[in-house]
Amino acid sequence: MSTNPAAVDSYWMPFTANRDFKQQPRIIVGAEGHHYHTEDGRKLYDAFSGLWTSGLGHCHPRIVEAVQRQVATLDYSLGFQAASDKVFELAEKVTSMAPDGYSKVFFTNSGSESADTSLKIALGYHRARKEGHRTRLVGREKGYHGVNFGGMSVGGMTPNRKAFGASLLPCVDHLQHTWNLEHNAYSRGQPAWGAHFADDLERLAALHDGSNIAAVIVEPVSGSSGILPPPVGYLERLREICDKYGILLIFDEVITAFGRIGAGFAAERFGVMPDIINMAKGLTNGVIPMGAVMVRDEIFDTFMHGPEQAIELFHGYTYSGHPVAAAAGIAALDAYVEEGTFEQSRGLEQHFEDELHSFAGHPLVTDVRNFGLMGGLDLVPRPDAMGARGLEVHKKCFWEEDIVVRNGGDILQFSPFLNSRPEDITMTFEKVRKVLDHID
């Protein structure tokens, strides 16, 4: 049975070409393991594992069972001044998975809320230390930190900003992005060239004086703008410059946390410890919306002053630490550990990289990038129709090849399941190649 046209018409879809979509709606009605089921009865392989969310696969039995049990036991609990048992349990699991020194975590409902929460924590931290003059926030060109005002302001993807005029947060600067076709086209993993891009922070510190900068926020590996791994030495350099000026370093790990790059956190994989780590997506395997912000112990301790009955952080959401989301999170984190998911993911990297880079030299491809199980493939845009070729690939994959491939404009993005079978990664790229070989 197909969704009635009035229903399709009523929904204003996010980040979607609504008018184009509604001509031939792509509607998903079920999922199991590595597949979606469509309303016309087909089974599609999900080559994007949700939206970077569902690394363990869809409808993972352990998470389904935990959610069902929790919703029947405690469907909601207030989270201010009292909270459900489950959120404490999840907090401990998250911090135990983290590198040493991060023992406190704050819960949100999304990556966007995590971005804004982390920026507020940074500002509040400096104020609590009597450095309230540190009000400047620094993001990076091509960065993505969600769609709320804080994240949008520090974000650096032009289409996400330009339609909303100049009314973004004041006192925000952007570092140069690190993508460089001339030096780094077709790099495998981290590009060897480009650590010096971090020195752009010195420029901003010279301009504003470093003592006025509160925080720098970056994705350790940029995802939404097309998978931009950090050049070798770049994150280390950024950490050094932040330390030199007392600037907090925030890693937005909404994509990279929980196995996407073969470790619990990118901080661990790169051996660079930020002050604040944002997460979402894999926290619950995408099953229930949830995000989190984890901080170095000293940041939390700095807030713990004043009278004991006083609230230390005037921030929180009605659904912060929602018990059903927390139950999903506990089950997901247990599954990651017991199923050895991060090791599995790491073990697939080489095969994924080799398959992805087999597109080098294809006439419609201009660059390929990868890190962990994140892959980006740039297509030549059609003249005067930016994004058209990418969207056509997505649609042909959906309708003709029974596979879901995400396009961000003319960039194809790949995020295989962390527990993929190598042959499914091969199959994904065979299908994409077939489509690319048959479009103009």
Ligand X SMILES: Cc1ncc(COP(=O)(O)O)c(C=O)c1O
Site string for ligand X, 92-121 (x = CB under 6 A): ------------------xxx--x------
Considering only 254, 276, 377, 403, the residue that binds ligand X (CB under 6 A) is: 254
Considering only 44, 280, 332, 377, the residue that binds ligand X (CB under 6 A) is: 280
Whole-number minimum distance, CB 147 to ligand X, in Å? 6
Whole-number minimum distance, CB 247 to ligand X, in Å? 20
Whole-number minimum distance, CB 201 to ligand X, in Å? 19
Please report, as residue ranges, which positions from 163 to 222 form the binding site for ligand X (by CB under 6 A): 219
Looking at the Cβ atoms of 88 and 164, the one nearer to ligand X is 164
Looking at the Cβ atoms of 177 and 382, the one nearer to ligand X is 177
Rounded-to-integer distance, Cα 148 and Cα 113, Å: 7
Question: Which listed range, 139-147, 320-328, 363-371, 382-390, lies at the site for ligand X (CB under 6 A)?
Answer: 139-147
Whole-number minimum distance, CB 223 to ligand X, in Å? 5
Whole-number minimum distance, CB 380 to ligand X, in Å? 25
Partner residues linked to 28 by β-bridges: 38
Residue 59: alpha-carbon gap to chain centroid:
21
Q: How many residues bind ligand X (CB under 6 A)?
A: 14
DSSP 91-122: HHHHHHHSPTT--EEEEESSHHHHHHHHHHHH
Looking at the Cβ atoms of 51 and 74, the one nearer to ligand X is 51
Looking at the Cβ atoms of 128 and 373, the one nearer to ligand X is 373
The answer to whether the Cα torsion of 111, 116, 120, 125 is positive or negative is positive
Whole-number minimum distance, CB 112 to ligand X, in Å? 3
Looking at the Cβ atoms of 266 and 435, the one nearer to ligand X is 266
- AA identity, residue 439: I
Rounded-to-integer distance, Cα 380 and Cα 30, Å: 34
Looking at the Cβ atoms of 145 and 431, the one nearer to ligand X is 145
Question: For residues 168 and 137, is the Cβ–Cβ distance under 8 A?
Answer: no
Looking at the Cβ atoms of 213 and 221, the one nearer to ligand X is 221
Question: For residues 399 and 23, is the Cβ–Cβ distance under 8 A?
Answer: no
Q: Counting contacts by CB under 6 A, is residue 79 touching ligand X? A: no
Q: What count of other Cβ atoms lies within 10 Å of the Cβ of residue 353?
A: 18
Whole-number minimum distance, CB 45 to ligand X, in Å? 21
Looking at the Cβ atoms of 210 and 409, the one nearer to ligand X is 409
272 token code pair: 């660079």
Whole-number minimum distance, CB 160 to ligand X, in Å? 11
Q: What count of other Cβ atoms lies within 10 Å of the Cβ of residue 301?
A: 13
Burial (CB count within 10 angstroms: exposed 0-12, middle 13-18, buried 19+), residue 351? middle
Q: Counting contacts by CB under 6 A, is residue 146 touching ligand X? A: yes
Q: Taking the chain, what is the end-to-end CA distance rounded to the nearest angstrom? A: 34
Please report, as residue ranges, which positions from 221 to 240 form the binding site for ligand X (by CB under 6 A): 223-224
Considering only 255, 299, 393, 403, the residue that binds ligand X (CB under 6 A) is: 255
- To which residue do tokens 């479009």 refer? 439
- At residue 351, φ and ψ (nearest 5 deg) are -65, -45
Torsion angle defined by CA atoms of residues 217, 408, 157 and 275, in that order, rounded to the nearest 10 degrees: 0
Looking at the Cβ atoms of 154 and 436, the one nearer to ligand X is 154
Strand order in the sheet with 406-408: 365-371, 374-379, 411-414, 406-408
Looking at the Cβ atoms of 48 and 398, the one nearer to ligand X is 48
Looking at the Cβ atoms of 159 and 306, the one nearer to ligand X is 159
Residue 143: alpha-carbon gap to chain centroid:
11
Site string for ligand X, 298-337 (x = CB under 6 A): ----------------------------------------
Question: For residues 306 and 274, is the Cβ–Cβ distance under 8 A?
Answer: no
Residue nearest ligand X, Cβ-based: 111
Q: Counting contacts by CB under 6 A, is residue 252 touching ligand X? A: yes
Burial (CB count within 10 angstroms: exposed 0-12, middle 13-18, buried 19+), residue 304? exposed
Question: Which listed range, 119-127, 130-138, 252-260, 363-371, lies at the site for ligand X (CB under 6 A)?
Answer: 252-260
Residues that bind ligand X (CB under 6 A): 110-112, 115, 144-146, 219, 223-224, 252, 254-255, 280
